[in-house]
Amino acid sequence: MFLNNILFWIIATPFLAAFAVKLLPVRVAIKAGMLFLLAQLTLCGVIAAPVFSSKVLYLVIKNIFFVADPLSFVFGITSVFIGVFIYLFAVGYFAEEAPREQQKFAFWGLVFVGSMMGVVFSDNLISLYFFWELAGLCSWRLIGFYRKDEHLLKADKAFLITSAGAGFMLLGFAYIYIITGSMSISQIMNMQVSPFVFALVFLGVLTKSATLPFHTWLPDASVAPTPVTSFLHAAVLVKIGVYGLARLFGTTLIVSGNVMWAGYLALLSSFAAGVIAMRETDIKRILAFSTVSQLGFMVAGLMVFNPIATRGVVIFYVAHALGKGCLFLCAGIIEKFFGTKDIKQMGGLMKKAPLLTYAFLFSMLSVAGFPPLPGFYGKLETITGMLVGGHVFYGLFAILTSALTLMYMMRLFSNVFMGDGMEIKTERKGFAPMGVAAVLLATSSLVLGVMLVL
Amino acid sequence: MNINVWFLPVVISFGIALVHIIFKRAGRNVRRWISLIGAIGALGACLYSMFINYNVLSSGEILGLVFAALISFIGLFSISYSQWYNPEANFVYDGLLFLFLGGMFGVVLSHSLIALYIYWEIMTVASFFLILFKDTQESRRASLKYIVMTGVGSMFLLFGILGAWMVELNILWKHIFFACVLIGTGVKMGLFPLHTWLPDAYTAAPTPASAMFSGVMVKTGIYTLIRFYFAIFQPSWSLGWDAIMMVIGVITLLGGVFLALIQHDIKRLLAYHSISQIGYIFLGIACGTQIGLVGALYHAINHAIFKSLLFLGAGVLIKETGSRNLEDYGGLAGKLPLTFGVMTVAALSISGVPPFNGFVSKWIIFQALLAKNTGFSVFALVAALLGSVLTLASFIKVLNDSFMGVRKAKVSVPTVGKSPFMSIPLVLLAVGCLLFGVFPGFVTERFLFPSIGEYLLLNISLIKMASFYGWLAICFIAVIFILSRRWIKGVRKTSVFVGGEILSAEDTAFDGAHFYGTVKDIAPLKRFYSAEVSGMLDIYRRGLQFLPRIGKCVRAATVNAVNAVYEKGSVFLSKWVERLRLLQNGYLAKYLIWFFAGLIIIMEVIRR
C-alpha cells in the first residue's frame, strides 16, 4: 500500500508543483520546478525495484485506475529524468527573460510532465485520452510561448492536428469498448480487434508522434524556445504516441488482420524525413526531421509485433530521449552562441567549446546507433526483432535510415563544429547551467550504454 | 582454451588507454614507457595465448590469433616509432592509439559477431579521432569523410551480421545479406568504388597512425570478410560471387596502382598502393579455394609488414624535409642510409621481387588463380602481373625521387636526430620482409593451414617452391655483389658540359615526377585520371551532391504538399463556415422560426 501511495504522489507531484510555482516568488519558479521534478525522480527511484521485480502496482482513485508496470515505468522515469535537465537548462536559457515568462514556462512545463505521467500510468482508456489531450493543450501553450502571430499559427497547427487525431482515437476506444466490453487496459488483455479499430487508434498515434502525412507540425513547432522543443521531442509529447502504440497494440490487444501497411507508412516517413534533413539548413528543423525519422523507426519496430522488437523500441526510446534531449539543449546553446539558427553561418565551435562538442558528438552517435552508446542496442534489438519476425524489408529500410541519420548528423556536426572559427557572442549570462545540463545528459547516455553492455 | 588469457590483449589495451587518461599530467618519459610497456604486454599476451592454447584452438580462433599477433607487432612498432615521430603528442593521442588497438584486438578475438561489431565501431570512432588529431582543414575533411563512409558501411555490416544469424532464409535474401557484408567490409578495406576515404584519411592522419591504418586496420576488414565468406556463408552457394568478386578485385588492383603512378604526395601514393595490394588479397579470397585463401592471408600479413615499413620510412622523409611532396626530396640516400636501405627492401617486397615476402604471397595468389582456371581468373592473373610491374615502376619513382639525384634546396629543415625508437622498428620490419620471404613454410604451415581447417587439397610444394626461388635470388644477388666488388673499381664522377659551360648538378638531374607525368596523357587513362581528380568517382562527394537534391524533391512532395492541403482546407472550411452566418442574422423573427422548427422536430422524435 505504501508503494501504491508513492505511485499516487508520482502522478500528483507535477500538478501540485505546477500550482506551487504559481504561489512561489516568480524569480525562483524554474529552480523550484526543477527541485519538484528531482523529488519526483526520487519517488520513481523508490518504486523502481518493485516494478522491475514484476510486482505491478495498482492505484485506485474513484474508479480511475493507475498502474505501474515496467513499460510505463520506463517511459515515465525517462520523461522525469530529462525534465530535470531541461529545467536546469531553462534556468540559464530564460535568465534574460522577464520573471513572469519564467514562471509561465515552469507552470506549463510541469503540467506537461504531469500529463505524461497520467498517460503512461493510466489503466483506463478514457483517462489515457484525457491526459493525452491535456498534453496537447500544454503543447499548444508552450509552442506559442511568446504569443507572436506566426508562433500562434504553428501552435494552432500542432494542436489542431494532434487533437483531430485524438478524436479518431477516441472513436477507436469506443469501438474497443463495444468489442471488449471494458475500458480498462488490464481487462482487455489479449483480446482481438479488427484492423479498422487499429486504424482509428493508429491515426491518433500518427498525429501525435508526427508520422508521414501528419508530420509537418513537428518541424514547424521548432519556433518554440529550446527547452520547450526539447520537451516536445525528447521527453513528453511525441513519445506519447509511441507509448500509446506500445501499450495498446504492443502488449495488450491483438489485431486480427494484416496491418503491415502501418509499418511501411512509418518506414516511408522515417526515410523521407531523413532525406529532407539532408536539405534543411535550420539546426532545429534538422533535429526535428531527425525526430520524425527516428519516430518512424520506432513505430515500424512496434508494427512487427515481436517481443524482441518491442523491447528494442523501448531501449531505443530511452536512448533517443537522452540523445535527442541533449542535442536540442546543445542546439539551444549553439543558437545563443551564434545568434542564428542557420548552420551555413556557423563553424569552428570545436575549439571554443570542446565539452559541448563531445556532448553533441556522443549524443549524435547514440541516435545514429553507434556502439557502445545506448542507441545501438535499441536499433540492434529492433532490427533483430524485425528479421526474426520475417520482415526483412523492414530491417533493410531501417538500416538505410540509420545510414541516412549518420549522414545528416555528420553534416550538421561538420557545419557547426568544424571549419573556421566564427564570431561568437559570449556576452550572455547563464551558459553555465545550460552547458552542465547538456554535458550531464550526454554523460548519462554514455553511462547507460556502458550499463547495457555489461 | 584459456579464456582469461584470450581477451588479455583487449583488456591491456583499454587499460593502458585508461591509464593515459588518468595520468594525463605525467611527464613525457613516463607516458612513453607506459605506452611501450603496454604494447609489449599486449604482444606478449598474444604470443602467450597462442603458445598455451595452440593445441585446443579451432580454426577460426587460430585465424583470429594470427591477426591479433600481427596487430600487436605492428602496433608495438608504430607506438615505438611515434615516440620519435611526435614526442610532443599529448595524452589524448596516446590514449586514442591504445583505444584503437584495443578495438582491433576485440574485432579479431571476439567470439560473437555482435561483439565483433561493437569493437569494430570502437575502432572506427578511435580512428576517426586519430585522423582528426592534427585538426587542420585537411584532417577535418578527411575525418568527416571517413566516419560517414565507414559508418554507413558498418551499418550494412550489421545488417549482414543479423542476416547471417538467421538461418531460414531464401537464397535471394542470402545474396542480399552477403552483398551487405561485402559493402560493410569493402568500405573498410577500400575496395574500388568505396575506396575514396582512404587516400585522404591516410594522408591526414599522423604517420604512425597511417602505418597502423594501412598495416592492420584494413586487415580487420579482410578478417571479417574471410570469417563470413568461409565460415558463415559457404563458398559453395556463393559461387555466383566468385566472378563478381574477381572483377572487383581486378578493378581495385589496377585502379589503385594506376592512380598511385601519378601521385606526388608520398603518403597519398602509399595509400593508393595500399588499395592496389588489397586488390591482390581480395583476388585470393575471391578464388574461394584453400590455396587462394592461404595466399590472401599470407599477403595480408606481408602487406602489413612492408606497408607499415613504407609508411614509417616515409615518416622519416617527411620529418627530415618537412614536406610530403616527392619533388621536394632528392639525394637523401647519403643522409639517411638506414631509411634508404629499409625503403628499398620494402619497395622490392611490395613489387613482388624475390627473395622478399611480397613475392611469396603473390606467387601463391597467382597459383590459386591458375588453379581456379576460369576465364575470369586467367584475366585476373594477367591483370595481377601487370599490377606488379606497375607497382615496381611506381616505387622506382619513389626511390629515385627521394634518395637519388641531388638534394633540393627548397626545404631547409634542421636534420632530425636518430633514435632507437625509430630505427629498431624499421630494421625489424625489414628483417621481417626478408624472413617471411625466405621461410614462408613457417607461418603458412604452422598457422595459416590450421586456420583454414582442412588442407588436404592444398599442394604445399607450391609454397616451398617460392622459398626455393627466394634462395635462388639470394644466391644470385650474392654472386653479383661479390663479382661487382671485384670488377667495378669505383665510380667515376665527372662534370656535364653543354657548349663549354659546366651545368650544375640540379640542372642535369632528371626528375622522376616529370618522367611519370607522361602517364597522365595516355589516351584511355586520361579520362580516368580526370574523373578521379574532379571527384566524379568519389561516391561520398556524389552522394553529398545527390542526397540534398532528393531531399528537395521529397520535401516538396511531403512537407509542402501536406502544408498546402492544410492551408487550402482551412481556407475552404472558413469560407463555408462564413455562409452559416446567414442563419444567424440577428432578427428575432428568424430565431423564432428556428426555435419552432427545432421544437417540431424534437416533438416528432419523441412521439415515435
* Nearest CB to B117 within list A216, A219, A371: A371
pLDDT of residue A313: 92
* Cβ-proximal residues to A207 (8 Å cutoff; 6+ apart), any chain: A161, A162, A164, A165, A166, A214, A241
pLDDT for the residue A320: 92
- Inter-chain CB proximity B543 and A407 less than 8 Å: yes
Residue A65, SS3 per DSSP: strand
* Whether pLDDT at B602 is above 50: yes
pLDDT for A183 beyond 60: yes
Q: For residue B316, what is its C-alpha cell?
A: 622519416
Q: What is the mean pLDDT of residues B351-356?
A: 83
User: Are the Cβ atoms of B140 and A419 closer than 8 angstroms?
Assistant: yes
Q: What is the mean pLDDT of residues A27-35?
A: 86
Q: Are residues B134 and B171 in the same domain?
A: yes
List, in sequence order, every residue forming a beta bridge with A342; answer none if it has no partner: A282
3-class DSSP assignment, residue A90: helix
Tell me the mean pLDDT in the region B65-75.
Answer: 89
Comparing CB atoms, the residue among A276, A399, A411 nearest residue B559 is A276
DSSP string, A234-293: IISHHHHHHHHHIIIIIII-EESS--HHHHHHHHHHHHHHHHHHTT--BHHHHHHHHHHH
pLDDT band at B409; cut points 50, 70, 90: low
Query: How much is the CA Rg of chain B, to the nearest whole Å?
Result: 31
- H helices within B335-458, ranges in order? 337-351, 357-372, 375-403, 420-438, 440-443, 449-452
**Mean per-residue pLDDT, A373-402:** 88
pLDDT of residue A62: 63
- Tens-digit pLDDT profile for residues B102-128: 999 999 888 888 888 889 988 998 999
Do the Cβ atoms of A215 and B550 come within 8 Å?
no
Select from A269, A306, A265, A273 the least CA-distant residue to A290.
A273
For residue B206, how many C-alpha atoms fall within 13 Å in the half-sphere facing its CB?
25
The amino acid sitting at A349 is: L
A383 alpha carbon, distance to own chain's centre: 21
Q: Looking at the predicted structure, is the pLDDT value of residue B410 above 80?
A: no
Q: Does B569 touch chain A (CB under 8 A)?
A: no
Tell me, yes or no, whether B190 and B286 share the same domain: no
A219, A371, A387 member nearest B162 (Cβ): A387
- Reply yes or no on whether the pLDDT at A66 is more than 60: yes
- Say whether B498 sits in a helix, a strand or coil: strand
Residue range A98-120, pLDDT digits in tens: 888 888 888 998 999 999 988 99
CA-based nearest residue in chain B for residue A218: B559
Judged against a pLDDT cut of 80, whether residue A7 lies above it is answered with: yes
Asked whether the predicted pLDDT for residue B185 surpasses 80, the reply is yes
pLDDT in tens, B267-320: 889 999 999 999 999 988 888 777 888 888 889 999 999 999 999 988 888 888
Residue B322 to residue B326: CA distance in whole angstroms: 11
Burial of B345 (0-12, 13-18, 19+ CB in 10 A): buried
Contact A410 B147 (CB under 8 A): yes
Whether A365 has its CB under 8 Å from any CB of chain B: the answer is: yes
Cross-chain CB nearest to B552 (options A279, A368, A370): A279
Q: Is A157 on the interface with B (CB under 8 A)?
A: yes
- Residue B571 touches chain A, beta carbons under 8 Å: no
B125 touches A: beta carbon within 8 Å: yes
List the single range of A83-92, A116-125, B358-367, B465-474 with lowest mean pLDDT.
B465-474
- The dihedrals phi and psi of A83, each to the nearest 5 degrees, come to -55, -40
The answer to whether residue B179 neighbours chain A at the CB level (below 8 Å) is no
Average pLDDT over residues B191-216: 88
B522 and B555 housed in the same domain? no
On whether any CB of chain A is under 8 Å from the CB of B156, the answer is: yes
Cα(B100)–Cα(A326) distance, integer angstroms: 27
Residue B490's pLDDT band, with cuts at 50, 70 and 90, is low
Q: What is the pLDDT of residue B139?
A: 86
Mean pLDDT of B329-348: 84
Closest CA to B42 of B25, B63, B65, B58: B65
pLDDT for A233 equals 80
Whole-structure pTM over 0.80, yes or no? Answer: yes
Cβ contacts of A372 on chain B, cutoff 8 Å: 118, 121-122
Give the 3-state secondary structure of residue B355: coil
pLDDT at A16 over 80: yes
Number of domains observed in the structure of chain B: 4
> Which amino acid makes up residue A234?
A
Would you state the pLDDT for residue A293? 92
Q: Does B173 touch chain A (CB under 8 A)?
A: yes
Q: Of the given ranges (A152-161, A200-209, A349-358, B479-488), which has the lowest mean pLDDT? A: B479-488
Is B234 at the interface with chain A, CB within 8 A?
A: no
Measured between alpha carbons, how far is B414 from B322 in angstroms, rounded to an integer? 9
B195 with B539: CB under 8 angstroms?
A: no
Q: Which of B125, B163, B180 sits opposite A370 (nearest CB)?
A: B125
Name the pairing type of β-strands A192-193 and A254-255: parallel
- Which H/E stretch holds residue A61? strand A57-61
Residues of A in contact with B543 (CB under 8 A): 407
Q: Cell 501536406, residue?
A: B562
- Distance, CA of B224 to CA of B158 (rounded, Å): 12
Q: Does A399 touch chain B (CB under 8 A)?
A: yes
- Rounded Cα distance, B296 and B185, in Å: 15
Question: Residues with Cβ < 8 Å from B201, sequence gap 6 or more?
Answer: B127, B131, B142, B143, B145, B146, B213, B271
Domain that holds residue B148: 1-237
Lowest mean pLDDT among A80-89, A426-435, B102-111, B194-203: A426-435
Considering CB atoms only, which of A406, A411, A419 is closest to B151? A406
Three-point CA angle B171, B173, B178, nearest 5°: 95
Name the pairing type of β-strands A57-61 and A192-193.
unpaired
Given a cut of 60, whether residue B236 has pLDDT beyond it is no
Judge contact between A249 and A266, C-beta under 8 A: no
- Picking from B533, B564, B592, the residue at the C-terminal end of a domain is B533
Q: Do B144 and A384 count as a contact with CB atoms less than 8 A apart?
A: no
Q: What pLDDT is attached to residue B512?
A: 67
Whether residue B98 is found in the same domain as residue B86: yes
Instruction: Tell me what ipTM this predicted complex has.
Output: 0.86
**Would you state the pLDDT for residue B453?**
63
Query: What is residue B503's three-state secondary structure?
Result: strand
Confirm or reject contact between A153 and chain B (CB < 8 A).
no
**pLDDT value at residue A95:** 81
| B151/A387 CB distance under 8 A | no
- What is the average pLDDT score of chain B? 82
- A277-281, B329-333, B539-543: range with lowest mean pLDDT: B329-333
**CA-CA distance, A437 to A444, in Å (whole number)?**
11
- Does position A388 have pLDDT exceeding 50, yes or no? yes
Query: B118 vs A453: CB contact, 8 Å cut-off?
Result: yes
Q: Lowest mean pLDDT: which of A8-22, B85-99, B343-357, B587-601?
A: B85-99
**Whether the predicted pLDDT of A260 surpasses 50:** yes
Residue B456 has pLDDT above 50, yes or no: no
Specify burial of residue A10 (Cβ count, 10 A radius: 0-12, 13-18, 19+).
buried
> To the nearest whole angstrom, how far is the Cα of B73 from the nearest Cα of chain A?
27
Closest CA to B289 of B387, B189, B373, B386: B373
- The predicted-structure confidence for B44-57, as pLDDT tens digits, reads as follows 888 888 877 777 77
Please indicate if any CB of chain B lies within 8 Å of the CB of A144. no
pLDDT of residue A387: 86
- Nearest C-alpha in B relative to A412: B144
Task: Clarify whether residues B505 and B578 are in a common domain.
Answer: no
Lowest pLDDT segment from B17-31, B225-239, B421-435: B225-239
Question: Which residue of chain A has the CA closest to B140?
Answer: A418
Q: What percent of chain B has a predicted confidence (pLDDT) above 70? A: 90
Contacts of A387 in chain B (CB under 8 A): 162-163, 165-166
pLDDT bracket for residue B331 (50, 70, 90): confident
- What band does B367 get if pLDDT is binned at 50, 70 and 90? confident
